[in-house]
Structure 1
Amino acid sequence: MNFKRIQWIFLFAFLIFDLVVAGSLFFQNRFTISSSAPNRQEVILKEMRSDAITSVDLSNHAQSGYYIAGTRSGESGELGQQAAKLRDQSYHFNSGELASDLETGVKIDLKHPEKRLNRLVGDNRSIALGSHYRYSPQLSDRHTVVYAQQLAGRALNSPDGQIRFRVNNNSEVLGYTQTYLENTRILRPEATTISQQHAVTWLYKHNLIPNNSQVRWAKLAYTKLLNTGSHNQAVYIPTWIIEVRTKNDDTVQQLRVNAFNSTIMRSTPGSVNTSSLGK
């Protein structure tokens, strides 16, 4: 047999052998990595359960949102213009907030106040710009029913865009206050946010969820990030708002996490020029 031909046969055999070994090591490594590196968040959730922390089901799916700028409306703005259509109530403005007293009280079901109030909010002769708001059970209690303005499909969790109905001891709404965010604009393209699960486990890692407590809910909403320096203008971002109840004394607190970068939001918004955000 030709010596050169034998060399080629051995070379071909070694090449096949190397491919088989490399493939085997690749799949073995993949299996080892996936088997030995459990999801870090699952580990943290297990630690939370060990600390007697219970929670609603938490999604690990990322969502999306925007940087949004807007101006708080007032008597000379869109809210004031639309308020001129209101009937069967007396109202006035104070620092950009509309305050109204209804001529006739509206009876509601305290368990489901939206069943009656949705009709009121949907009537532009009763509530100005009502189609921009949705009922928010998380912000409501037996004395105040809150409707939050919607920004890019999510609730605005801010005093800058809410309807707050006053409820008396007879389960009647006698009046309300209203604020509205106008001239809203998107400053940057849509971006991915952290997941609901990530936000809650991040708070736990930073010792903000105490032992023997309950995570009652976690909602993604828009909150104020900062003021722009211009009159009544501000920037709003998607924020995970998590309500935690301490089981020992029923203390309830709402914690906030910036849904873009996981920053825990504690301080009062500062001021900034928004021109850089629009780039």
Structure 2
Amino acid sequence: MVIQTKPNVGELASLIGGIAQIDGDCSTLIPALKLGRRSSATDPMPCIYGLGLALIVQGGKRVTLGDEIFDYGAGQSLITTVDLPVVSYVTRASPAEPFLGMWLELDARVIAQLAAEMEFATPLQVATTRAMSVETLDAGLQDALTRLVRLLAEPPLIPLLAPLIQQEIVVRLLNGGHGPSLRRLVAVGSPSQQIAKVIAWLKQHYTEDVPMDDLAAKAHMSPSTFRQHFRAVAGMSPLQYLKNLRLQDARQLMLNENMDAGSAAVRVGYESASQFSREYSRLFGEPPNRDIKRMRESTRARDGRLH
């Protein structure tokens, strides 16, 4: 029996902790790379995860996709292969041992190009699978990610070396536990790729009246087959997905642009204010005005603690 040892991500934790010294998400000189730090557990936050790799080096996190729960911690990585509406929150963090993590945005074109050049030991199964997976970090991928973060200390070398290390990371992902998910994303004509195309289209047109049969036609599937494959990839029905996009956009409009609930509802495609309020409460736990007020108070309290 092979016993899998837990990866030692101490160097990565030290590097990330040294750069991300205050709570929040920290952009870096490598555009695709963000670092994160939290000194306490956070409230559940609905948000959109795009195509990318998330890695935790200290603490723990929970991500809920539809009815499915993904718990992961130090030394574990999470891949998302299409834009997914999730509920995410930090479950383990303290001032003495803060949550530390990183997010690396991936490029579908680079994945497709490298996958086409690689030979894989096992053929890809046709079955459609969830567009999110959690895997334990292997030594090769850990080394490449550590070198990418280390590179932040050498700004002049970033334009030359970062793209090479990012390509290596994609090759190692394709060759590891996350490989099948990424290969399905770029396999021409596969159900997963067809659903990914529809999701990309929905992201641009979610404020419009979108008949589900038209979406099925875009995927070249019958309506029932489309709904089945969509749920397998996204963890929810196409209609639930559309509602999530609209409600999350409305929340950002109210929070960032001081838009009132009625105007935000109309902007994202709702015709009924009462339906908007009802569905908003179901997703975020409170009616729009109360939720936005609570979020603003929470932000002010956090900012006050940081100063």
Output the TM-score relative to the length of structure 1.
Answer: 0.23
- RCO greater where, 1 or 2, for CA within 8 Å and sep 6 or more? 1
Output the TM-score relative to the length of structure 2.
Answer: 0.21
Which structure is larger by alpha-carbon Rg, 1 or 2?
A: 1
